[in-house]
Structure 1
């Protein structure tokens, strides 16, 4: 009996020891884990949170700074408008009247001279260079040329709007830039220079900034085609003293360039003429909700008072306008196309037949 009691006590001790061992096996590793690994994990997490926090703060600070800058600029413009408000300007015209504050100089006594924003929208060899020089002969107009001929300026809509902002803030310096009393500032913009490609954003910009569009088109696109081909030839041949000239200022230079007669590929002629028509039609459709005027080259050639309509459109005083440009192709089309008989046969009986009389 006594022996059985001792055996029972030993078994209790063993059980207790086993429990103690089990307890050590289960508790100790857990204790180590809570003391070391979570600490490292929490440190890493806290470091990541801190980095994210710093990044968000920096981005927020930058955005707030930009917004603050925009708000300050907007406030300055609105204050300028209040100071310069002219009661004689109709309410409907106010969105198109601006009082820029250039970063590069002060407008001084002209600070309250209202400025109109415009853009001459056209296609190459449609007379836009000639029209622009005529407008620039007006003492209060500054049209700054084919700014978007440089690809980087039209690579995306951000580059486009940045360029336009600089131009319309009167900070774009060119040979056409007038003094601080400029009353209308603009550019010459070809339809294939990002204008149609980004038409939605450009239309939104024009409407938001109050930019007026002057469409300059040619009715006879066959004449334009001849001019395009002749200009492309001279860019390689450089017929005037080894220099390429898109526009000339003397009869002698015009005669030299007119001597070249391009041969037109009649297999794709009609398709090309349709492509020109579509480009112009699409542009007119896209910009129909902007303030615009449509001008045809042929009308200006036959009636010089047509440009007075443009001055009225820009709300500028009428002045006699002049240009040094000399027309290159002055004869009938038959005298400027090398394979005239083939072209004549191709267009006869088509919607473009009337072009042959140009």
Structure 2
């Protein structure tokens, strides 16, 4: 338990309220944005977004530690901040944002400061790849009135973004899936020495009790969690890939064959 003393404001009557520290460790397009909005719907949770997307904040170990100290001292202000009412504070951190590069020092920091790691991945890496390619396309195409949106809050916006069907390079497909799979496994291997919980996006979607497990993990009072985000890809996976037949042939009979049977409606 922690009792931060922010320099930018007073916690007032909540000074004696303990605060849990956490970090959501994930990969892009793995449901971490949606998951974070769910956590932030809790009255006592402040998860401050993808802070280390700014390169200067992850330029070296010192800048990383300085940023983390500011977050966990409740001196990092975002729209998610609950200030004096905060009982759990954290951030979202992608594996490619200095996390794996400096994992030794970060793990030492987590264990020293009592930061709990929430590892969130996707089981179906083909679904993730479709989302990555579609998001990359929209970053250039800006299909929503000239604006790029990684997440949307209306079905109309989701339908616009879902119209794009990526063509997947089948020569590179299996190496790409293997690389992503190993990346997640390496992260789990490194951070298993911290207090951690392993989550999969698909399980969170299928089983709402998984969210309650997270609140228990953070030792927070249970309450219903909600998000305004609308899922972009809601059709069958076969309807979301332009060269589906080639992808099917490439994965049939491999260790990744099960990915072909995924229903995007989860």
- Please indicate, yes or no, whether the TM-score normalized by the shorter chain is above 0.5: yes
Do structure 1's residue 284 and structure 2's residue 199 form an aligned pair?
A: no
Kindly name which structure, 1 or 2, has the bigger radius of gyration based on alpha carbons: 1
Deviation at 1:125, TM superposition (A): 0.2
Could you tell me the TM-score, scaled by structure 1's length?
A: 0.73
For residues 197 and 11 of structure 2, what CA distance do their matches in structure 1 show?
29
Matches within 5 A, 1:188-227: 188-227=92-131
Corresponding residue SS for 1:180: helix
After superposition, the C-alpha distances for 1:116-169 in whole angstroms (9 at most, x for unaligned) are: 000000000000000000000000000000000011101111010000000000
For residues 173 and 136 of structure 2, what CA distance do their matches in structure 1 show?
17
Q: What CA RMSD, in Å, does the superposition of the two structures yield over aligned residues?
A: 0.5
Do structure 1's residue 104 and structure 2's residue 8 form an aligned pair?
A: yes
Do structure 1's residue 316 and structure 2's residue 220 form an aligned pair?
A: yes
Do structure 1's residue 121 and structure 2's residue 22 form an aligned pair?
A: no
- The runs of 5 or more residues in structure 2 that have no matched partner are none
For residues 188 and 179 of structure 1, what CA distance do their matches in structure 2 show?
18
Deviation at 1:348, TM superposition (A): 0.4
Aligned residue for 1:346?
Answer: 250
Match of 1:301 among 205, 226, 229: 205
Corresponding residue SS for 1:320: coil
Aligned residue for 2:90?
Answer: 186
After superposition, the C-alpha distances for 1:70-108 in whole angstroms (9 at most, x for unaligned) are: xxxxxxxxxxxxxxxxxxxxxxxxxxx000000111111
- The runs of 5 or more residues in structure 1 that have no matched partner are 1-96
For residues 212 and 235 of structure 1, what CA distance do their matches in structure 2 show?
33
Match of 2:58 among 145, 154, 175: 154
Whether the aligned pair in 1 keeps the contact of 2:74 and 2:83 (CA below 8 Å) is: no
Deviation at 1:179, TM superposition (A): 2.9
Aligned residue for 2:230?
Answer: 326
After superposition, the C-alpha distances for 1:171-196 in whole angstroms (9 at most, x for unaligned) are: 00011111311000000000111001
After superposition, the C-alpha distances for 1:257-297 in whole angstroms (9 at most, x for unaligned) are: 00000000111100000000110000000011100000100
Whether the aligned pair in 2 keeps the contact of 1:332 and 1:357 (CA below 8 Å) is: no
Match of 2:176 among 269, 272, 275: 272
